[in-house]
Amino acid sequence: MSYLILPKGYKSALTPDETEKGIKLVKDFFQQSLAKALSLRRVTAPLFVLKGQGINDDLNGVERAVTFPVKDLGDAKAEVVHSLAKWKRLSLAEYKIRSGNGIYTDMNAIRADENLGNLHSLYVDQWDWEKTMSARQRNLGYLKQTVRKIYGSLLDTEQFICTCYPQLRAFLAPRIHFIHAEELLQMYPGLDAKAREDAICKKYGSVFIIGIGGALSDGKPHDNRAPDYDDWSTPNEDGYLGLNGDLLVWNPVLGRSFELSSMGIRVDAAAMRRQLDLSGKQERASLYFHSRLLDGKLPLSIGGGIGQSRLCMLFLQKAHIGEIQASIWPEDQRAACRRAGIKLI
C-alpha cells in the first residue's frame, strides 16, 4: 500500500468506453509519429529467450526473470524477456540496418518483482526501439537531438488526444529540460534520488536526466543500470560521465514525477569492458551477446523503451496504470482504489 497514491477528489475524465478507444488512439498515433521522427521500421520480437546467452536484460541486476523449461529442447530453460535492449542490437546486425535507421517493436514482459502501485504492474508493455549510429555520433549532442525528437512526438500525441477528447487539457511543457544527475544532486543535496526527480519535474515540467548508472559524488548512482547495454561510464562534453538517461514529466493527476522512457547511447567495446569491470561482471564477456559485441560484430547504436500503458495513462489522465491494462493487484489495493473512485480493469 505504500506504493499507492490516491489523488483526492479524483474522477476519470473519460468513460470506460472512451478509455478503451483512447488507448488505441494513443498507441496508433504515437508509434507512427515515433517511427517517422527516428526513421524506424517495425519488426516482430520474442516474448522469451533462452537462458544463459546474455540476451535478456537484468535491469537493475536484482529482478528475477520468469523462467520455464522447454520440453522439446531437453527442458532447457527459457526466460520471459525483461526488455529487448540486447536483442534489438543483435537484430540491427541481422537485418543489416544502415546508420541513421532503426527498428521498433512491441515488447511485452512479466516482472514478478515489481512493487505494485499506480505506476508499476506485473505486466509491462513498451515500445522498444533501436537505431544504428556512427562513431562520430557517440556524443551528448546526438543523444539530446534524439530526445528532442521523441519529445516532439509526445507533444504531437498530446495535442491529437486533446482534440479527440476536448474534456482533456494539455499540460506538457513546450520544451524538455536537460540536466545531469550530478547537477541534480548538487541542486538538491538533501533529497534522495526520487525526491530530486519530483523537485526538478515540478520546476520544469519535462526533464531528461543524463548519466544513470554511474556513481555520483556521493558515491551512489542516481539509479542502477546493468553494465552491458547503456553507456553510463564514458565522459561526455559537459565534463560528466554518461551518454544515457531517463525522460520524465510532471504528472498533474498524481502530483509527482512520471518516468516515460529509459534510453541512451549503447556501450561500445571499450565501455562494455569498463562497465563489466566496474560492476564485477567480467564473466559475462564470454556470453553470446557480449562476445559478439566485443568482437566488433554488432553495430554502434542508440535505443530505449517507452512505456505504452504509461503513455496512455498520462495522456488519458488516469490515476492508476490498472485503469489502462488488465493485471493482478493485491485485494487491499483494489479496495482502496474503489473507495477513491479509481476503477481498475
Q: Which of 262, 275, 317, 327 is catalytic?
A: 262
Determine whether 28 is an active site residue. Answer: no
Of the chain, the end-to-end C-alpha distance in Å amounts to 18
- The SS3 of residue 225 is coil
Exactly one of 12, 31, 33, 57 is catalytic; name it.
57
**246 catalytic residue (yes or no):** yes
335-to-11, 14, 15, 229, 328 alpha-carbon distances in Å: 16, 21, 20, 40, 13
C-alpha count within 13 angstroms, C-beta hemisphere, residue 140 = 18
Q: Which helix (H) or strand (E) holds 184?
A: helix 181-187
Number of H helices, E strands in the chain: 9, 11
What's the grid cell of residue 99?
546508420
User: In the 8-state DSSP scheme, what is residue 42?
Assistant: E
58 is an active site residue: no
- Which one is catalytic: 12, 121, 126, 153? 126
- Identified catalytic residue from 106, 183, 223, 259: 259
Rounded Cα–Cα distance for residues 64 and 52 (Å): 14
Whether residue 259 lies in the annotated active site: yes
Catalytic site includes residue 169: no
Helix/strand/coil for 179: strand
Is position 333 annotated as part of the catalytic site? no
**Active-site annotation, residues:** 57, 111, 126, 246, 259, 262
